[in-house]
Amino acid sequence: MTPKRIEFHQRSQRLEIEFDDDCYELDAEFLRVHSPSAEVKGHGPGQAVLQHGKKNVAISAIEPNGHYAIRLSFDDGHDTGIYSWQYLRELGQNREQLWQNYLDALQQAGLHRDPDTQVVRLL
C-alpha cells in the first residue's frame, strides 16, 4: 500500500497522494487537525484535544519516516505527527465525513477555524 506518488502543492497547501487505485488531495488544515500525534489524539480513548484556529496553518516541512510514513511539520510549531501510508489513505477515503465531524465538534464547543475569531457570550 505504498503510494505511487506524493506531491506537495505549496501555493494551495495541499498534499496530493496517489495509490494504485485512488488519489487524494488533503489540505494543510485538514492534516493538522487530524494529526495522529499524541498531542492531538491523546494517549488513550477520550483524551483527544479538539484543534481550533488552524484555518491558515501551513506545512513547513515534509520528511520521510522510514518506508511507511511521512512526518509533517507545520508553521504553528506542531511537528510530532507521523502519517503512515495507511492513515493517509484512511484520511483520504473518509475526508468528507471527518471534516463534517470536525466542523460539528467546533460548533458544539463554541470554537472556530479562524484563529482571529473569538466567542463573546453576552447572555
pLDDT one-digit tens code per residue, 22-61: 999 999 999 999 999 999 999 988 899 999 999 999 999 9
| pLDDT at residue 102, rounded to an integer | 97
Question: Based on C-alpha coordinates, what's the Rg of the chain?
Answer: 15
Percent of the chain having pLDDT more than 90? 88
pLDDT at 120 over 70: no
| pLDDT at residue 45, rounded to an integer | 87
CATH of 5-109, one of 3.30.2020.30, 3.30.1490.20, 3.40.640.10, 3.40.47.10: 3.30.2020.30
Beta-bridged to residue 62, according to DSSP, are 72
The closest of 35, 13, 24 to 95, measured between CA atoms, is 24
Task: Give the DSSP letter of residue 13.
Answer: T
Taken in order 35, 70, 82, 18, the sign of the CA dihedral is positive
Show me where the domains of the chain are located.
Answer: 5-109
